[in-house]
Chains A and B, each alone.
Chain A
Amino acid sequence: MFESVLQPLEELEKWWEKPDPWEYEGNLYDLNRRAMLDSVLPKKQYKRVLDIGCGDGFMTARLPGEEIIGVDVSKKAIQQAEKKNNDLTHIKFYAHSLFDLPTLQWDQSFDLIVITGVLYPQYIAQGEMLAYAIIDNLLKPGGHLISCHIDEWYHSRFPYITLSRTYYSYREYSHILEVYLK
């Protein structure tokens, strides 16, 4: 009998019914995660920025960029993100899965893409290669991709030049934080 490894969307939505379900705010590990991202971000001005797996926008508002889009598969998460950031006009949030992105009609070119906690078996199963193809389509040549994941669950390496790769402690796991240049 086939058993899917994919987590049903309903489960995720239920999870996002309460605010900040993973308790990022005020958690030292997550504050550190944010600081680590700040420290590896190339110091440069970006025009269009995409935050994939933005959740309630924990990182989104800190990203540099004239126009920022945050997407998350959970509608509830996106509602929270919008509420938290309703004063920021340069940021827009949409409820989409990574795999919806190629089907959308908006401008598909970004010069910075951040992807956090998305490329895990429970969200993408056997989908790494499609994920690479989708992101490659969205990222401009010369653009940067930042990937931040729990190393134990993450089985991806993007076919771009690695500008940096950092490992640090995150809760009971290790995080792998990569900066790529396309």
Chain B
Amino acid sequence: MILLYHKVYLESPTEWWVDTNDFWRQMYELQNYEVVNLADYDPNNPEQVVITFDGIYENVFQYALPVLKSFGYPFELFVVGNTIGEDNTFDQHVEPPARFADRQQLKALVAGGGRLQWHSQSHIDLTKEEALDTVRAELSVPEDIRSLDPKGLKWFGYPYGNHDQRLLDITKEHFQGALSCVNGNDIDQYQFNRVIVTNGSSFARSTVSLIIANYNYGTFVPEAIESVLHQTIQPDEILFIDDCSTDNSVEIARRYEDKIKIARNEKNLGIVGNFNKAVSLTSGDYICFLGADNRFRSDYVEKCKLALDKNKNAAIAYTYAAIFGPRAELHALKAKAEPAPDTKDVFLWRFPEFDRSMAEKLQVANFIHGSSMYRRQAFEKVGGYQKSEKPEDHHLFARIVSNGWDAVLVPEFTLEYRQHSEDQANTRLNTEMELAYTRKLVKLRTHDFEQLKVAVQGRLEKYVDLDKGVSSIRQLMNAGDVQAAFDLARKTLQQFPEQAKVIQAYAQIQALKGDLDNAEIALRSALLFDPAFADVHNDLGSIYFRQDKVEEAIYHIEQAAKLKPDNNIILKNLAEIYETSGRIEDSLRTYQKLIELYPKDTEALMGLGNICQKLERLGDASFFYNRVLELEPNNPTARQNLEAINT
């Protein structure tokens, strides 16, 4: 395969330009081939590639050369004699301005691995030129150009790719071979074909599925996802799998929905079930897992994919790890990882190189971490992740290796392995304990409610229509006649003792009367009959809030928001309660959602303004207050706050 480039630059205004990111990726992918000079090229060898440029444009010197040098590739430069150091005046009607390389730049290109070849003196279509002398003159290389590269100028590139028998015969007199790009073939050295490369061209020989595995890693999730999205070589597929978290991780992951796939397990499957499911949802040749509390260095995919591409016997590519986070030092001590130079926060964890004698050792001691990249083929052969006394990943890798595959070490610290703080673990534990306690409480209070029901029964008249009853209660409440509403609610409740909306109305009246304890009991009962009643969760949350039971309040308002994600009253409650309990980021996020749904909600805008003001992000605070004033020019609070900021 002979590749043809023209211009390489930071962006690509037309199809003749390849941008530097894509150019770099293509050079990366060519590491799976043998990149050779034309002199060494064998068209029957599908593993060989020649990189050629036509022009030669200055941007090849400036933007392609550093990349070519970093990969150490040879390349061929087909130069047009009379354009050296000139402008592209001839095609500026279709192409943006682009200067041609001057002699100095051509020299630097040759010194950097390039070989000069000839693309004619003035780039005219030689099949249309009648005068033989002119054709011969176009093909002859002036001595001063020849002196730029004594080894080169033995191959010819047909202008516009066009050639006929006459031109072919003359070319044979002057050159060792010639390239076309329109009607060439892979047999005749004087008409080899070339593939024109564009941004989209890919020479990859494998695909990668990267899976981010999450369980309650909420605040760490963005760092994990960002680390994947910034990979120098993008995985072909990114899956975020959540094993039924109880925190807001999935909500956080959804911010990246346009770039990654998200799957959430309805039930917690545990590591084996979850990992096998994740693999089954992907299709890449290579698979790797990243725990959502860790990060990949930006060259993780680049290095591991290449290692597997290059080592056909290896089914696993494993790397070193850098340990970071508040408990890094503790873990480093255990793992015998050394501190990185010039810091106390990061530790370097090295693993031994693999050889067959290590295969035995792997059965007992693990030196291949769970975020190693492995072949799907091997995974399938050994039956995937399985339950065992060893950690699941260790067990999988040990089975793969004992099935005859090798592992290959990538000696780079491309896994960034976070050691959490105790706090982090404890907070989660606390939440779990709170929930257990709350459930117990519900059961106790239900018993109380049953007794209450018995107490009111028998004193109530019969009532027929449920909806009418509830709406009458609400009318009385709105009218301010709390006592009448209360009497009617009691009556209705007797008729419909298990209807959550009646109980809710009853509870609201209790709350109006200031009897928060009874309101709480009633609302809890309502939830027993209808656990998915968003407004009841919201009311109960508000009652708890008034009782200063913040954890419980947050739990129920969050439940309400899950059930009715678009309700502005619930979202506002949630934002406020987050703010009060110091969860500023969560509060901000909730306000953000509100604004997305209700861009003109002045209360939400005020709330955002307040938070920003507290955070001393005064520019943002003014922005939100000003927005309030656009909608409500007379809003006194917004005005006062703005004045306070400006002074």
A residues with a Cβ closer than 8 A to B are 2, 4-6, 42, 44, 99-100, 102-103, 124-130, 132-134, 136-137, 142, 144, 155-164, 169, 171-172, 181
When the two chains form their complex, are residues B322 and A161 in contact, meaning their CB atoms are under 8 A apart? yes
In the complex, besides A2-B14, A99-B62, A155-B230, 15 extra interface pairs with C-beta distance below 8 angstroms are: A4-B11, A42-B342, A126-B10, A127-B19, A128-B21, A129-B21, A129-B232, A130-B10, A130-B20, A137-B70, A157-B226, A159-B298, A159-B414, A169-B616, A172-B619
When the two chains form their complex, are residues B322 and A129 in contact, meaning their CB atoms are under 8 A apart? no
B residues with a Cβ closer than 8 A to A are 10-14, 19-22, 24-25, 61-63, 65-67, 70, 108, 226-227, 230, 232, 297-299, 302, 322, 324, 340-343, 345-346, 348, 413-414, 416, 615-617, 619-620, 623
Which of A99, A128, A129 has the most chain B CB atoms closer than 10 A to its own CB? A129
What residue of chain A has the Cβ atom nearest to residue B623's Cβ? A172
When the two chains form their complex, are residues A172 and B13 in contact, meaning their CB atoms are under 8 A apart? no
Q: In the complex, A159→B20 CA distance in Å?
A: 17
Q: In the complex, A100→B322 CA distance in Å?
A: 33
A-B contact pairs, 25 of them (CB 8 A): A5-B11, A6-B10, A42-B342, A100-B62, A103-B62, A124-B10, A126-B12, A126-B22, A127-B19, A127-B21, A127-B63, A128-B21, A129-B20, A129-B232, A133-B67, A133-B70, A134-B66, A156-B230, A157-B230, A159-B298, A159-B299, A159-B414, A161-B322, A161-B340, A161-B348
Question: A-B contact count, CB below 8 Å?
Answer: 106
What residue of chain A has the Cβ atom nearest to residue B223's Cβ? A165
When the two chains form their complex, are residues A4 and B13 in contact, meaning their CB atoms are under 8 A apart? yes
Q: In the complex, A176→B436 CA distance in Å?
A: 40
What residue of chain B has the Cβ atom nearest to residue A42's Cβ? B342
From B66, B70, B108, B617, contact of A169 by CB (8 A):
B617
Cβ–Cβ < 8 Å partners of B61 in chain A: 103
Cβ–Cβ < 8 Å partners of A125 in chain B: 10-11, 19
Q: In the complex, A161→B66 CA distance in Å?
A: 23
From B70, B226, B413, B623, contact of A161 by CB (8 A):
B413
Q: In the complex, A6→B59 CA distance in Å?
A: 16
From A44, A102, A127, A132, contact of B10 by CB (8 A):
A127
- A167, chain B: closest CB distance, angstroms: 10
Cβ–Cβ < 8 Å partners of B62 in chain A: 99-100, 103
Cβ–Cβ < 8 Å partners of B619 in chain A: 171-172
What residue of chain A has the Cβ atom nearest to residue B231's Cβ? A157
When the two chains form their complex, are residues A181 and B10 in contact, meaning their CB atoms are under 8 A apart? no
Which of B24, B61, B108, B226 has the most chain A CB atoms closer than 10 A to its own CB? B24
Cβ–Cβ < 8 Å partners of B230 in chain A: 155-157
Which of B70, B299, B324 has the most chain A CB atoms closer than 10 A to its own CB? B70
Q: In the complex, A16→B160 CA distance in Å?
A: 45
The answer to whether residues A163 and B66 also contact, given A125-B19, A129-B24, A157-B298 and a CB cut-off of 8 A, is no
From A130, A142, A158, A162, contact of B66 by CB (8 A):
A130
From A6, A128, A164, contact of B343 by CB (8 A):
A164
- B298, chain A: closest CB distance, angstroms: 4
Q: In the complex, A132→B297 CA distance in Å?
A: 14
Secondary structure at the B interface, as helix, strand, loop or mixed, is mixed
When the two chains form their complex, are residues A181 and B342 in contact, meaning their CB atoms are under 8 A apart? yes
Cβ–Cβ < 8 Å partners of B20 in chain A: 126-127, 129-130
Q: In the complex, A156→B299 CA distance in Å?
A: 12
Q: In the complex, A163→B340 CA distance in Å?
A: 8
Cβ–Cβ < 8 Å partners of B340 in chain A: 161, 163, 181
Which of B62, B66, B67, B226 has the most chain A CB atoms closer than 10 A to its own CB? B66
- B260, chain A: closest CB distance, angstroms: 16
The answer to whether residues A163 and B345 also contact, given A132-B232, A133-B66, A157-B298 and a CB cut-off of 8 A, is yes
When the two chains form their complex, are residues A2 and B346 in contact, meaning their CB atoms are under 8 A apart? no
When the two chains form their complex, are residues B11 and A158 in contact, meaning their CB atoms are under 8 A apart? no
What residue of chain B has the Cβ atom nearest to residue A142's Cβ? B341
When the two chains form their complex, are residues A130 and B345 in contact, meaning their CB atoms are under 8 A apart? no
Q: In the complex, A171→B622 CA distance in Å?
A: 12
When the two chains form their complex, are residues A99 and B63 in contact, meaning their CB atoms are under 8 A apart? yes
When the two chains form their complex, are residues A172 and B19 in contact, meaning their CB atoms are under 8 A apart? no
- A180, chain B: closest CB distance, angstroms: 10
Cβ–Cβ < 8 Å partners of B413 in chain A: 161
- B444, chain A: closest CB distance, angstroms: 45
- B625, chain A: closest CB distance, angstroms: 14
Q: In the complex, A128→B231 CA distance in Å?
A: 11
When the two chains form their complex, are residues A163 and B343 in contact, meaning their CB atoms are under 8 A apart? yes
Cβ–Cβ < 8 Å partners of A100 in chain B: 62
What residue of chain A has the Cβ atom nearest to residue B414's Cβ? A159
Cβ–Cβ < 8 Å partners of B14 in chain A: 2
When the two chains form their complex, are residues B67 and A130 in contact, meaning their CB atoms are under 8 A apart? yes
Q: In the complex, A163→B616 CA distance in Å?
A: 28
When the two chains form their complex, are residues A137 and B343 in contact, meaning their CB atoms are under 8 A apart? no
Q: In the complex, A44→B345 CA distance in Å?
A: 16
What residue of chain A has the Cβ atom nearest to residue B622's Cβ? A172
- A152, chain B: closest CB distance, angstroms: 12
> When A and B form their complex, which 7 residue pairs have the shortest distance between CB atoms, in order from nearest?
A159-B299, A129-B24, A126-B19, A157-B230, A125-B10, A157-B298, A130-B20
Cβ–Cβ < 8 Å partners of B341 in chain A: 142, 181
When the two chains form their complex, are residues B13 and A129 in contact, meaning their CB atoms are under 8 A apart? no
Cβ–Cβ < 8 Å partners of A136 in chain B: 70
Which of A4, A133, A137, A169 has the most chain B CB atoms closer than 10 A to its own CB? A133
Cβ–Cβ < 8 Å partners of B13 in chain A: 2, 4
What residue of chain A has the Cβ atom nearest to residue B199's Cβ? A126
From B65, B297, B620, contact of A159 by CB (8 A):
B297
From B66, B342, B416, contact of A44 by CB (8 A):
B342
Cβ–Cβ < 8 Å partners of B66 in chain A: 102, 130, 133-134, 137
Cβ–Cβ < 8 Å partners of A129 in chain B: 20-21, 24-25, 67, 232
Which of B227, B297, B414 has the most chain A CB atoms closer than 10 A to its own CB? B297
Q: In the complex, A128→B20 CA distance in Å?
A: 8
Q: In the complex, A162→B323 CA distance in Å?
A: 10
- B18, chain A: closest CB distance, angstroms: 10
Cβ–Cβ < 8 Å partners of B19 in chain A: 125-127
Q: In the complex, A181→B346 CA distance in Å?
A: 11
Cβ–Cβ < 8 Å partners of B299 in chain A: 159
When the two chains form their complex, are residues A159 and B302 in contact, meaning their CB atoms are under 8 A apart? yes
- B499, chain A: closest CB distance, angstroms: 49
Cβ–Cβ < 8 Å partners of A164 in chain B: 343, 345
Q: In the complex, A130→B61 CA distance in Å?
A: 13
- B612, chain A: closest CB distance, angstroms: 10
Cβ–Cβ < 8 Å partners of B108 in chain A: 103
- B392, chain A: closest CB distance, angstroms: 28
Cβ–Cβ < 8 Å partners of B232 in chain A: 129, 132, 159
What residue of chain B has the Cβ atom nearest to residue A103's Cβ? B62
Q: In the complex, A73→B12 CA distance in Å?
A: 21
From B21, B322, B617, contact of A172 by CB (8 A):
B617
When the two chains form their complex, are residues B620 and A42 in contact, meaning their CB atoms are under 8 A apart? no
Q: In the complex, A100→B58 CA distance in Å?
A: 12
What residue of chain A has the Cβ atom nearest to residue B68's Cβ? A133
What residue of chain A has the Cβ atom nearest to residue B303's Cβ? A159
From B227, B616, B623, contact of A157 by CB (8 A):
B227
Q: In the complex, A128→B561 CA distance in Å?
A: 41
Cβ–Cβ < 8 Å partners of A42 in chain B: 342-343
Which of B10, B62, B63, B226 has the most chain A CB atoms closer than 10 A to its own CB? B10
Cβ–Cβ < 8 Å partners of A159 in chain B: 232, 297-299, 302, 414
From B63, B302, B617, contact of A130 by CB (8 A):
B63
Which of B20, B227, B299, B345 has the most chain A CB atoms closer than 10 A to its own CB? B20
